[in-house]
Structure 1
Amino acid sequence: MNFTLRQLQYFKAVAEQRNFGRAAQVCHVSQPALSVQIRALEEMLGGPLFERRARDILLTPLGRDVLGLAQQVLQTAERLDRFARDASGGHRSLSLGLIPTMAPYLLPGVLAALRAGDVSLRVQIREARTERLLELLRRGEIDAAVLALPSGVEGLHEEPLFEDRFLLAGSASRLKSLTNSPEALRPTDLKTTQLMLLEDGHCLTDQALEVCGQDRTSAGIDMGASSLATLSRLVAAGFGLTLMPELAAYSESEMVPGLRLLRFTEPQPARTVGLVRRASTSGDGWFDDLTRVIRQVGEEIVEQTRAGVPLSSGARGRQEKGPG
């Protein structure tokens, strides 16, 4: 059977776009040229891959079976191509994904440390939400991802890196109104009308709702911000309160002078920052090295924050100053 990678790429594009014209545009070829290759692939495989409708295209049972295999072949070919390019140039490569609530704060230190350890290492960064990173990891488009554990996905090797505790962030006046009993400040005591969170789809939003004992149907919760930077500026201006990870707290406090932080009483709510890879992928030392670098950078950041934001009990004056 003499099918080509190009035919598999065209087939995959049609399956994803569900339209021959759009698939041809994605593949940068004419529609007739793409159709010829698809028909040739169907002839070799012994049946139609698509149900061709007037306004839509669906995979046939044969097409569904072939798609999974085609994706595996293309992923392997991409990795082989990348390996060949790196080997010929004397370089190694690493494709790393991070979620948006971690990437801006970890990347500067992590990239500097990786560069210092191996100047020939080529690092490709993908910033995306957890669901997207897990899909990229499954498809072999990234080698590892930094996200909150557990991922809830089978077939992954998960390595915990450090604990990232949640702080309460807001303006000085809003936090002052909550400190009548600072020794008893808990996330579940926050009123829904006070909470501002990231837009739906961010795992940090799910985590914040869980620790506050709320859900998406709770009245008054504002879920619309697209980044922690936006949230920081909104709550610093007095538009409610939010939960801020220690990983982001120091940087956001430096950038937003009006932002104040308050630490919850024990047990403090937190997320576990972790590094994941496919269980089928050999670590070969690179994963251990990457784990060590990210853990060291992350722990330094959160320790810096912890030095500036003490426990709420008996520490009102220092809390209102925030880190730095």
Structure 2
Amino acid sequence: MNFKHLKYFVATAETGQVSRAAKLLSISQSSVTGSVRELEAILGVTLFERRAQGMELTKAGREFLQVARDILEKVDAAHQIERGTSDIAGTLTVAASYTVIGYFLPYHLGRLAQLYPRIDIRIVELNRQSIEEQLLRGQIDMAVALTSNIHREGIETVTLLKSPRRVWVPAGHAFCDGGEVSLNRIAKEPYVMLTVDEAAHSSMKYWNRHNAHPNIKLRTSSVEAVRSLVANGQGVTILSDMVYRPWSLEGRRIETVSTDVEVPTMDVGLAFSRAIALTPAMKALKSYFTSAFLSPKLQF
């Protein structure tokens, strides 16, 4: 196994298509396909299901994705240390929503502190409506938020990560035995509805689009409560891979299953007002995130 195997695998997983990964990496599609197949042979597992709409990660693929990202990020961090830190200085007030603060931002704040020690980043937790209002009023500089929820005129967004949504079920559930599952089958199960960050509103959009209705047993703003309830057999839910963890707080296993209809991804990214010019500190923050998620890295 080498770094190219990991890099090509991550690019394919994040873009969902070999053609997009090849374009991102500026290489041929055959190179990406060959590398992924070599990696699967080395690991002895299938990492992707090849479908008409693209490449979908298997359960093994989703588990290996985090490992691959960790390895590449640590190597990239070592390279950044060699290059030294930046002299860019300033204070940034950055808003973030609940989900982003809990499941996306902490690692990157550590990296930013290493790379830009003279930038004072002050984080405030806000909901989507407050983020939009304060960006337009100039009360905050930028936001790291669920860009799939932001559609306000005058706000520019840069999506960094598209996190697929899947069904969460307890270990041994019947859904684990039959491949993709329909919303009508899910509707027959008790359903735990997450409400934080407009999750319930986002969920009902695709439920209504397919003329199906979840059998909601409980609504909660706590991701950990959802995790525990599902793990203990009290219901199922549909949530994104970004907040998925295979174990509940009680140590019970949670599995994920894909749906047979397209469920919108949960998109995470940057948001800022189009009416203001980006300061050097704001440009540094934007450059860090776009480089980390949207640019080819680690040219081995």
Structure 1 residues 222 and 170 mapped into 2: Cα distance closer, same or farther (>3 Å)? same
1:287–1:265 distance in 2 versus 1, CA, 3 Å: farther
CA contact (8 A) 2:136 2:273 kept: yes
* Alignment-derived partner of residue 209 in structure 1: 204
CA distance in 2, matches of 1:259, 1:214: 31
Q: Which residue of 2 aligns with 1:170?
A: 169
Q: Which amino acid aligns with 2:99?
A: T
Q: CA RMSD in A?
A: 3.1
CA–CA distance in structure 1, aligned partners of residues 244 and 142 of structure 2: 25
Could you say if the C-alpha distance between residues 92 and 286 of structure 1 is closer, same or farther in structure 2, counting changes exceeding 3 Å?
closer
How far the C-alpha of 1:197 sits from its partner, in A, is 1.3
Q: Which residue of 2 aligns with 1:230?
A: 225
CA contact (8 A) 1:171 1:259 kept: yes
Is residue 2:151 matched to residue 1:146?
A: no
| CA distance in 2: counterparts of 1:256 and 1:289, whole angstroms | 41
Letter in 2 for 1:92: G
Q: How far apart are the structure 1 equivalents of 2:181 and 2:287?
A: 34
Asked if structure 1 preserves the Cα contact closer than 8 Å seen for 2:230 and 2:254, the reply is no
Residue 251 (structure 2) aligned to one of 245, 252, 257: 257
Distance 2:202 2:106 in 1: 25
Q: Do the aligned partners of residues 256 and 107 (structure 1) sit closer, same or farther apart at CA in structure 2, a change above 3 Å counting?
A: farther
% same residue: 18
Unaligned regions of 5+ residues in structure 2, if any?
1-87, 295-300
TM-score normalised per structure 1: 0.55
Return the match for 1:179 from 165, 176, 179.
176
Q: Indicate how the Cα distance of structure 1 residues 222 and 92 shifts in structure 2: closer, same or farther if over 3 A, else same.
A: farther
Please say which of residues 144-153 and 285-294 is displaced more in the overlay. 285-294
Asked if the contact 2:176/2:255 (under 8 Å) is kept, the reply is no
- Secondary structure of the structure 2 residue equivalent to 1:142: coil
Q: Partner of 2:192 in structure 1? A: 196
Q: Secondary structure at the match of 2:112?
A: helix
Q: How many residues align?
A: 204
Q: Using a 3 Å threshold, how does the CA distance of structure 1 residues 155 and 206 change in structure 2: closer, same or farther?
A: same
Q: Distance in 2 between matches of 1:154 and 1:192?
A: 39
Amino acid at match of 1:119: P
Q: What is the letter of the counterpart of residue 232 of structure 1? A: R
CA deviation after TM superposition for structure 1 residue 254, in Å: 7.3
Q: Distance in 2 between matches of 1:296 and 1:268?
A: 28
* 2:97 aligned with 1:99: yes
Report what 2:51 is aligned to: none
Question: What CA distance in whole angstroms lies between the structure 2 residues aligned with 1:287 and 1:188?
Answer: 46
Deviation at 1:280, TM superposition (A): 0.8
Tell me, in whole angstroms, the C-alpha distance in 1 between the residues paired with 2:188 and 2:272.
37
Matches within 5 A, 1:1-324: 92-150=90-148, 151-173=150-172, 176-182=173-179, 184-187=180-183, 189-191=185-187, 193-199=189-195, 202-213=197-208, 218=213, 220-250=215-245, 253=247, 255=249, 257-265=251-259, 267=262, 269-294=264-289
Q: What residue identity is the alignment partner of 1:160?
A: T
One-letter amino acid of the counterpart of residue 113, structure 2: R
Q: Once the 2 structures are TM-superposed, how far is the Cα of residue 283 of structure 1 from its aligned partner?
A: 2.1
Aligned-pair CA distance for 1:186: 3.9
Whichever of the two has the greater Rg, that structure is: 1
Q: Which residue of 2 is the match for residue 15 of structure 1?
A: none
SS of equivalent residue, structure 2 residue 234? coil
